[in-house]
């Protein structure tokens, strides 16, 4: 089957490509720069979803298209939702014109009964735009992805590694369901050939429900580190904390700020039906962390280990 994978230079896209090719699909990649694409594809198209450059060529003759593009970085402060919406609308228009049967999108879990953060609200707009563009489209919503190249996981590891004391705001008690990167890849790969009845939005999550404090403590434990945790309550620290945390972890504040805003509420799946529907066996949190850290250390030493 001819398949397009956008964001092919990123963590999720690079992990998905070999799985799709192993399943016998012809994979065309789409990226802003060919130099950043490490995983071999059958064909590569350079372009930009925000401007629309290259989209018509990339989508020509494609049956299934993966939309794995996020636009928080590189946008002016607070402007990423506008940029993300523009990119999604251009992609949707081009996919509709090309007759794409299915778009597969990876977004984020959404808090129940509260207004989502800017980051998650933007993901919802993108999801709705893409689901409406092709008749059998599938949107997968995930929380923190545990993987050696996952930006959110690497951010947490760097904080644990570099801070002797972890100051955790009030959101430390909020809960989520982190998911192994291998399981995300499995869901995405299965989505290519899933029956039409599975079209729509699905929440994908690991089997373990953890508070953010428990999540951080669990990563530290696998890293064989003891980091005292200091609870900080009574004041919203996210704007300042995100800038400091980004500097400590060596990350882009434009990415970290919106991500930390998303911690203000529980991020739990609406139900647990996705694993059965797509035939994915889920890895436990500790196994996911051990695998991710092992993969990381095969390429780069962790100072704290």
Q: What is the pLDDT of residue 176?
A: 96
Residues in the chain: 305
Q: Would you say residue 286 has pLDDT above 70?
A: yes
Work out the average pLDDT over 205-220: 95
| Structure-token pair, residue 228 | 């005292």
What share of the chain has pLDDT > 90, as a percent? Answer: 63
Question: Could you report the per-residue pLDDT of 82-109, keeping only the tens digit for each?
Answer: 888 999 999 999 999 999 999 999 999 9
3-state secondary structure of 230: strand
pLDDT at 91: 96
Task: Give me the mean pLDDT over the 295-301 stretch.
Answer: 88
**Average pLDDT value for residue range 4-11:** 94
Q: How confident is the model at residue 140 (pLDDT cuts 50, 70, 90)?
A: very high
Instruction: Specify the pLDDT at position 241.
Output: 63
Average of per-residue pLDDT values in the chain: 88
In this prediction, residue 26 has a pLDDT band, given cuts at 50, 70 and 90, of very high
pLDDT at 265: 84
Domains and CATH numbers, the chain: 2-146+179-205+266-280 (3.40.50.720)
Does residue 170 surpass a pLDDT of 80?
Answer: no
Q: What is the pLDDT of residue 242?
A: 67
Q: What share of the chain is helix, strand, coil (3-state, %, to 5)?
A: 45, 15, 40
CA 300/CA 182 separation, integer angstroms: 20
Q: What are phi and psi of 88, to 5 degrees?
A: -65, -40
Structure tokens at 226: 């003891």
Identify the band that residue 234 occupies on the pLDDT scale cut at 50, 70 and 90. low
* Number of neighbouring beta carbons within 10 Å of residue 275: 18
Q: Higher confidence at residue 155 or residue 276?
A: 276
């Amino acid at each position: 089957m001819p398949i397009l994978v956008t964001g092919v230079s990123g963590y999720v896209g690079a992990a998905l490509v070999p799985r799709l090719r192993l399943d016998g699909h012809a994979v065309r990649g789409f990226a802003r720069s060919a130099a950043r694409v490490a995983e071999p594809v059958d064909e590569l198209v350079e372009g930009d979803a925000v401007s629309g450059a290259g989209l018509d060529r990339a989508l020509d003759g494609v049956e299934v298209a993966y939309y794995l593009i996020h636009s928080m970085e590189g946008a002016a402060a607070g402007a990423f939702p506008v940029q993300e919406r523009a990119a999604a609308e251009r992609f949707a228009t081009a996919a509709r014109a090309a007759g794409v049967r299915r778009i597969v999108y990876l977004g984020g879990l959404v808090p129940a009964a509260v207004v989502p953060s800017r980051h998650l609200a933007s993901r919802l707009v993108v999801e709705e735009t893409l689901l409406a563009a092709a008749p059998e489209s599938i949107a997968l919503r995930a929380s923190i992805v545990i993987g050696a190249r996952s930006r959110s996981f690497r951010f947490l590891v760097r904080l644990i590694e570099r801070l002797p004391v972890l100051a955790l705001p009030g959101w430390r008690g909020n809960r989520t369901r982190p998911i192994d990167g291998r399981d995300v890849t499995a869901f995405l790969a299965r989505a290519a050939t899933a029956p039409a009845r599975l079209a729509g939005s699905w929440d994908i999550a690991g089997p373990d429900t953890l508070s953010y404090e428990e999540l951080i403590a669990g990563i530290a434990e696998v890293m064989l580190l003891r980091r005292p945790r200091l609870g900080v309550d009574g004041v919203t620290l996210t704007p300042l904390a995100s800038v400091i945390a980004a500097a400590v972890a060596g990350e882009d504040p434009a990415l970290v700020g919106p991500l930390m805003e998303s911690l203000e509420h529980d991020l739990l799946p609406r139900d647990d039906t996705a694993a059965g529907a797509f035939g994915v066996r889920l890895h436990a949190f500790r196994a996911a962390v051990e695998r991710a850290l092992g993969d990381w250390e095969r390429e780069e030493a962790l100072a704290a280990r």
